[in-house]
Amino acid sequence: MNTTSTARLIAGLALLIAVSGCARGLGGGDYSRRDARQAYRVQYGAVVATRPVKIEGEYTNLGTLGGGTVGYSLGRVIGDGDGSRVAGAVGGVAGAVAGREVEKVATTEAGLEITLDMDRGDTLVIVQSSDVGFRAGERVRVLFGGRNEARVLKVL
């Protein structure tokens, strides 16, 4: 493996590792930059029940491109001339498919389905990351955002 191939391989692997850190948090206390300085409506209620759920991971171009780069680099190491180019192309496609799946697995997380009786009389179910646990009867506040988003937080 020559220096250029090694550098490509290292860059591709670093890109794939970075994918796992790019997922947006889905917990009650996780805010993106666009969530900052936004007004939220606050309502209060009580937890009726919770149930563990799985929040599916997501696909973005990052996993596909990172996997394709790694696969291409590994494929190009095989053979010389045209054989190397063909192996690079096949490796790139296989790597892209694998990178996409790696990203989905890396961004999948444990979640919590929270059923709430709101003080205003209605019942809500909100799914969020299980970073904070809740128990039946616990008082909570629910923040409603402008993009039809809601989050459950413990009453301070």
pLDDT tops 50 at residue 20: no
Rounded to whole angstroms, how far apart are CA atoms 88 and 74?
7
Tokens coding 102: 């790696």
Burial of 101 (0-12, 13-18, 19+ CB in 10 A): middle
Q: What percent of the chain has pLDDT over 90?
A: 31
Confidence bin at 98 (pLDDT 50/70/90): confident
Nearest to 147 by CA among 35, 32, 28: 35
Indicate the length of the chain as a whole number.
156
Q: What percent of the chain has pLDDT over 70?
A: 77
pLDDT tops 90 at residue 88: no
- Tens digit of pLDDT for each residue in 126-149? 999 898 999 999 999 999 987 788
Tokens coding 120: 């205003």
Distance of alpha carbon 119 from the chain centroid: 32
Convert 102-138 to b/e letters by CB count within 10 Å (16 or more is b). Answer: bbbebbebebbebbbeeeeeeebebebbbeeebeeeb
Rounded to whole angstroms, how far apart are CA atoms 90 and 94?
6
- Tens digit of pLDDT for each residue in 53-86? 988 887 777 777 888 788 878 877 876 777 777 8
Tokens coding 70: 């790694």
Rounded to whole angstroms, how far apart are CA atoms 87 and 83?
6
Average pLDDT of the chain, as a whole number: 80
